[in-house]
Chain A
Amino acid sequence: MASTVIGVGITIEGEVTSEEDVLVQGTLRGKLIAKDAVTIDHGGTVEADIASGPVAVAGNVTGNIASNDRVDLQNGARVVGNVKATRITIADGAQFKGNVDMDV
């Protein structure tokens, strides 16, 4: 269980800063900065730039993702934006439009 959960049906408009992991099942508009893992579940929507640790996306993201770890775009994910991370996977069934920067 993530320590911060934006549940189904909940909308945050603004900036979320976290030292711990964040799970988005609802909607976040604004900015997301997390020291730890960020998970965007099926049905979750993030319209924000994300700066964090590992990111797993199975929902919608509109915005740039910058991770100091890995980014996994899972089946069902829809991502529009640039992804910057050390390791990136894009699963079959993930939709992705944007640039990849693997920071080599």
Chain B
Amino acid sequence: MMIRPSDRSESRDAIIGRATRVRGRISGEGSLVVEGVVEGDIAVRGDVTLAPGSRAASNVEASEVTLRGDLEGDVHAAGAIRIESGARVRGNINGDSVSLEDGAEFVGRVELAFDLPAELAGASAASTANRRR
């Protein structure tokens, strides 16, 4: 696809404005900011931000996810998930790291993919070894 230099924006971002509602699936390469309402799944390569006052009934798949609005659905992030003050989240979250701020509401399960620290990993290995003995 030809992109001309006259194109006024090089931004790959999408913004669902405050007075906008999307019913359907949002996907693609860029990042997404939701200020309005989304009913449908979101799967982007970039980051997803739910602004204060936004509402989403979506499963979210993204790089990093920042939540300040209402979300009903599961979150799957390659990077960090931040549930900030004012957010209301119902769903399971699965990411590289998760932070839950004071003032945020969250109902769901947190699943983190991380390696056990060496001493713990060593201890469990040792205990397995002990049991064998």
Chain A interface size, under 10 / 10 to 19 / 20 to 34 / 35 or more: 20 to 34
Residue B7 interfacial (CB < 8 Å): yes
Most buried by B among A8, A18, A41: A8
Given the contacts A42-B4, A43-B2, A3 and B18 also touching, CB distance less than 8 Å? yes
Contact with A along B1-16 (1 / 0, CB 8 A): 1111011111111111
Would you give the shortest CB distance from B20 to chain A, in whole angstroms?
Answer: 4
Which of chain A's residues have a CB closer than 8 A to the CB of B14? 5-7, 10, 12, 26
Residue B104 interfacial (CB < 8 Å): no
Which of chain B's residues have a CB closer than 8 A to the CB of A18? 17, 19-21, 36
Provide 16 A-B residue pairs closer than 8 Å at the C-beta atoms, listed in order of the A residue.
Answer: A4-B15, A6-B14, A8-B9, A8-B11, A9-B12, A10-B12, A10-B14, A10-B30, A12-B26, A13-B24, A14-B25, A16-B22, A17-B22, A20-B20, A42-B2, A43-B1
- A residues engaging B (CB < 8 A)? 2-20, 22, 25-27, 30, 35, 41-43
- B residues engaging A (CB < 8 A)? 1-4, 6-32, 36, 40, 44
